[in-house]
Structure 1
Amino acid sequence: MNNERILDTLRAPHISEKSARLAEHNQYVFVVAPAATKADVRAAVEKLFDVKVEQVNLVNTKGKVKSFRFRAGSRQGKRKAYVRLADGQTIDVSAKA
């Protein structure tokens, strides 16, 4: 898997309270490309962070319905990947200022 495809597959780490709790149990959450498969995510994480991935779960989330200038519209949905690593391995996804 080349570097361009890795960066296209993994868009960003998803930072939330739930993902912080999951990080304590070797699970990390990433926003991924809509066309990404479990195999793509596994290969990208293993190559980019040099870790062993045990399991990948993918979730499609719907965008929130919002009003824009008195009209109903919706935000774009996301595809998230929940990645579980082997015991003893970690990824530092915190933002350094």
Structure 2
Amino acid sequence: MTTTSHSSITKPHVTEKTLRMSEENTYVFIAPKKMSKTEAVKQIEKLYDVTCTNARALAGTSKMRRWRGKIGRTGLYKKIVVTLKEGQKIELTGQT
């Protein structure tokens, strides 16, 4: 599968839980539903210049949303959980 602009890692998923996980060298990213785990790991390694030792993929579901009387759905997504090589780090915006 070739990488195109619409199939790239969207953003790091920053919550209280993921900030605690980052202390153990584990980071969570949001990716498009159709992206494979290996493709996501390659993009993370290239984008942040790190080496991933372990990766897991979790499929997220879309949710119903209402806005001004109209019903819609949120998009499908995938969470990619990666563990980095010892001594490497990714700087996230929510960290202190």
Higher helix share: 1
> Cα deviations across residues 12-33 of structure 1 (Å, max 9, x unaligned)?
1111112111111101111112
In the other structure, the counterpart of 1:61 is: 60
- TM-score with structure 1 setting the length: 0.78
In the other structure, the counterpart of 1:50 is: 49
Q: Do the aligned partners of residues 7 and 63 (structure 1) sit closer, same or farther apart at CA in structure 2, a change above 3 Å counting?
A: closer
Contact 2:33/2:76 (<8 A) preserved? no
- TM-score with structure 2 setting the length: 0.78
CA-atom RMSD, angstroms? Answer: 2.4
Contact 1:41/1:81 (<8 A) preserved? yes
In the other structure, the counterpart of 2:76 is: 77
Contact 2:32/2:76 (<8 A) preserved? no
Indicate the SS of the match to 1:10: coil
Contact 1:62/1:78 (<8 A) preserved? yes
Q: Distance in 1 between matches of 2:6 and 2:43?
A: 8
Contact 1:66/1:74 (<8 A) preserved? yes
Question: How many residues were matched structurally?
Answer: 93
Q: Distance in 2 between matches of 1:72 and 1:7?
A: 25
In the other structure, the counterpart of 2:93 is: 94
Percent pairwise identity: 27
User: Does residue 32 of structure 2 align to residue 33 of structure 1?
Assistant: yes
Instruction: Report how far residue 54 of structure 1 moved.
Output: 0.6
